[in-house]
Amino acid sequence: MKAFIVDRYGSKDGVRAGEMPDPELRDDDVLVQIHAASVNPLDLKIRDGKLKLILPYRLPFVLGNDVAGVVVRVGSRVRRFKSGDEVYARPDTDRIGAFAELISIKEGSVAIKPKSISMEEAASMPLVGLTAWQTLIERANLKAGQKVLIHAGSGGVGTMAVQLAKHLGAIVATTTSTANVDWVKGLGADVVIDYRKDDFETVLRDYDVVLDTLGGEVLEKSLRVLKPGGKLVSIAGPPDPDFAKDMGLPWAMRQVIRLLSRRIRKSAKHHGVSYSFLFMKPNGDQLREIGSLIDAGAIRPVVDRVFPFESTMEALVYVEQGRAKGKVVVKVR
């Protein structure tokens, strides 16, 4: 099959178009003919080898973490899907490979594609939709009437998180640059801070939850907009000991991770709030619930650009520039 392949880590030329063997089909897998895939900053981090201690892929491997397509075969133990089903998924973390013609995915990570959207829109959803779900609902337990700050409301995660938080009945503040202020209000945000003009830290206070998608200085400042007992959940800041334990990392790695997040955990304690890092997980059941919200019109996919399959490398470059409004998709067939 045709695929975009990483031969070696750490080089921009490290991804190439080429041929790979068709994926093996395990008993609990569905084999999906890929119609569309979407690009995530995670693809760039994996390509550059930044996550190789946590996610060790055997080289060469196919890149890509989000798919929509049609089931063409199922393993002997698969009960929920059959050939011809239109599906979408964030493939399992240890078996990625969305920039290709075919992928095998564990049944439990797959869901039927929402009927009201195209393959390209469906491919834009899984990773960011699940991230929004797992941070706001599972981790932060966000409730109607609570105040949440979502950083980078115009990004892939931000566009989903703003819509989901509004659907939950929360009061939503977000940050974006001048050109995107009105556009992000259109997604439902109640308060939009133009980060080029204003400092969110001086404008917002007494928030229940902050979803940090940026890390660094933004992470530190976010502590100060929370009320006592508030929750800072980060997907871009330093990983914490619970994450290391959950990933089953070896003792030495767990100690390194403990040190990496020591400062922010200490500051959080000092401010009387909590800090946690979240690494999203594939989940077919949650994806089904997200699909229902899409078909009900409660949230909608936000696609910035669609690139043809041959231009996957250009799609990666576009995302790397960090200015995407919503998601960048590759149309595979």
Ligand X SMILES: NC(=O)c1ccc[n+]([C@@H]2O[C@H](COP(=O)([O-])OP(=O)(O)OC[C@H]3O[C@@H](n4cnc5c(N)ncnc54)[C@H](OP(=O)(O)O)[C@@H]3O)[C@@H](O)[C@H]2O)c1
Check residue 37 for interaction with ligand X (CB under 6 A): no
Check residue 319 for interaction with ligand X (CB under 6 A): yes
Query: Which 40-69 residues touch ligand X, going by CB under 6 A?
Result: 40-42
Q: Residues in contact with ligand X, total (CB under 6 A)?
A: 30
CB 287 within 8 A of CB 88: yes
Q: What three-state secondary structure class fits 278? A: coil
Measured between alpha carbons, how far is 4 from 18 in angstroms, rounded to an integer? 6
Measured between alpha carbons, how far is 42 from 214 in angstroms, rounded to an integer? 13
Query: Which 85-104 residues touch ligand X, going by CB under 6 A?
Result: none
**Nearest residue to ligand X on Cβ basis:** 155
CB 208 within 8 A of CB 323: no
- Piece of 51-59, 219-227, 275-283, 287-295 that binds ligand X (CB under 6 A): 275-283
- Piece of 70-78, 140-148, 149-157, 163-171 that binds ligand X (CB under 6 A): 149-157
Least distance from C-beta 40 to ligand X, angstroms?
Answer: 5
Other CB atoms within a 10 A radius of the CB of residue 72 amount to: 14
Alpha carbon 51 to its chain centroid, in Å, reads 15
Least distance from C-beta 271 to ligand X, angstroms?
Answer: 21
Check residue 175 for interaction with ligand X (CB under 6 A): yes
Measured between alpha carbons, how far is 2 from 206 in angstroms, rounded to an integer? 51
Q: Which of 271, 279, 288, 289 binds ligand X (CB under 6 A)?
A: 279
Check residue 139 for interaction with ligand X (CB under 6 A): no
How far does the chain reach from its first CA to its final CA, in angstroms?
Answer: 13
Check residue 158 for interaction with ligand X (CB under 6 A): yes
Pairing mode of beta strands 110-112, 61-62 = unpaired
Pairing mode of beta strands 86-89, 147-150 = unpaired
Query: Hey, which residues does 69 pair with through a beta bridge?
Result: 34, 87
Q: Which of 103, 162, 204, 214 binds ligand X (CB under 6 A)?
A: 214
Least distance from C-beta 22 to ligand X, angstroms?
Answer: 28
Chain contacts with ligand X (rule: CB under 6 A): 40-42, 127-128, 131, 151-152, 154-158, 175-177, 180, 195, 213-214, 235-236, 278-280, 319, 322-325
